[in-house]
Amino acid sequence: MPNNKRHERGFVAVTAALVLVVLLLFAGLSIDVGYMMYQKRLAQSAADAAASGGLRELNAGGNAAAILSAGRDDSSMNGFVNGATSTTVAVNYPPTAGSFSGNNNAVEAVVTRTLPTFFMMLAGTNSATVSARAVALRSASGTGLGGCIFTLNKAASRSFSLAGSNATYVACSSVVESTSGSAFYMEGSGTLFLQNSAKVGVVGGYQLTGGTQLWNVATNTQTYPITISDPGDPLASFVAPTGGTIRGTNVYYDKNAPPPGNTMQPGIYCGGLRVGNTGSVTFNMAPGTYIMAGGGFSLTSQAKVSATGVTIYNSKGSGWGCAGNAAASPVLIDSQAVLTMTAPTSGALAGIALFEDRTLSGLSNRFVGGSSSTIDGSLYFKNSSLQFSGNSSSTGYMVIVVDTLSITGNSTVGANYSSLATPNIFVGTPSGGVLSE
């Protein structure tokens, strides 16, 4: 009996040792896997930067060698240097794989690094390789393919949503930066028509319910959203206006109280600007920057307004020299109103039509102007929502950068930036053209 007990104790000790070794191997495996995943994320950032850098060089007229050099330079600034620390950075123009293979309006970057393992070497695996790929796109006209629609909220469900039986035409890619599983959401029976082989890129997930679909106009086939990395705010570099001439307080115009010469002037509107029924007359907005110092901007009833070379900056009442301190209010364009608006084509606010003060948040902006309404320019509401049903002109463009977006009617979002001064402000920026396939 004592001898048997010694054998049992020996068996338990050996078994415990073997279990401990297995547990250590699993613990080591989890550490190695976690480290590889971390390196994979770093490699993806480097690939995105390389593709974006290559695209900028392509937009500047560079050849394949220049594109390769520019892409590798941007990758190196993210810690991945070609030929160093077992790293390879390939920048291909045109891409050699994926859905944009051979596309002369695209640049592909592939970043690969071989890394030593820490614990997996105990199982005979001394190294592992991480790889990341990104494709940067532009349209056939040389404009940033990713420059149409951005929703910046990082966590919202239905960050970009489309509802009903509407037909929406978008000439360049949409970028949804939310990590939610339903960040991009379609319900009803509507179709989002993607022109120029544009994409819907989503950081998180998507849901296409009912009879909704995405349609690639170029190939006449159904398509689906793809997964992307978060490009951030493409309009972050624009500087807000700082002042102007005070034009009045709680200004309201209609057919019974028109502006002088039926023309409004740029400047500061303390308490905001509202335009009601203009009758059969179209009120004009002279070129320049209109600052809403609280009170917001609204077109109601049967307002008809034409604005060429205009930026509307929506802010709060304080800090503009106004007598009062009006609270901020949203931009509201009624369904019976008609707004024809074109952003400035040059200057500090070139391409910016509607610009919300970045210190504001949570406003519910609404642009549901009549079918005759058009805006050529950017709608920029960084921290607020936008309900949208509108169009760019048939030969124009629109860029929508908002916290969350809901499209509720037939809409057309163009991508013809030829009206802008050279260089085109929407080329070579973080326009969402970097799509991690």
Model confidence pLDDT, tens digit, residues 152-161: 999 999 999 9
Mean pLDDT of 382-394: 94
Lowest mean pLDDT among 56-60, 99-103, 157-161, 247-251: 56-60
Angle in degrees, 0-180, between the axes of helices 2-59 and 64-76, rounded to the nearest 10: 130
The Cα–Cα gap between 355 and 297 comes to 11
* pLDDT at position 139 over 60: no
Mean pLDDT of 237-256: 95
For the entire predicted model, the pTM comes to: 0.71
Cβ-proximal residues to 130 (8 Å cutoff; 6+ apart), any chain: 36, 39, 40, 43, 112, 113, 115
- Please report the pLDDT score of residue 333 as a whole number: 96
Lowest mean pLDDT among 7-16, 89-98, 207-216, 384-393: 7-16
Q: Do the beta carbons of residue 190 and residue 168 sit within 8 Å?
A: yes
- Please report the pLDDT score of residue 250 as a whole number: 97
* pLDDT at position 365 over 90: yes
Confidence grade of residue 151 (pLDDT, cut at 50, 70, 90): very high
The Cα–Cα gap between 233 and 273 comes to 28
DSSP symbol at 39 = H
Report CA-CA distances (Å) from 266 to 134, 286, 292, 358. Answer: 43, 7, 10, 21
Lowest mean pLDDT among 24-38, 62-76, 180-194, 284-298: 24-38
What pLDDT, in 10s, does the model give residues 29-81?
Answer: 677 677 788 888 788 878 877 887 788 788 667 899 999 998 999 888 888 99
What pLDDT, in 10s, does the model give residues 211-243?
Answer: 999 998 988 999 998 877 777 788 888 899 999
- Please report the pLDDT score of residue 98 as a whole number: 78
More confident residue, 14 or 100: 100
Looking at the DSSP assignment, which residues form a beta bridge with residue 194? Answer: 170, 216
- Please report the pLDDT score of residue 67 as a whole number: 92
- Please report the pLDDT score of residue 116 as a whole number: 83
Buried/exposed 119-142: b ≥16 CB within 10 Å, e otherwise: bbeeeeeeebebebbbbbbbbeee
* pLDDT at position 108 over 70: yes
Token duo for residue 55? 């695209």
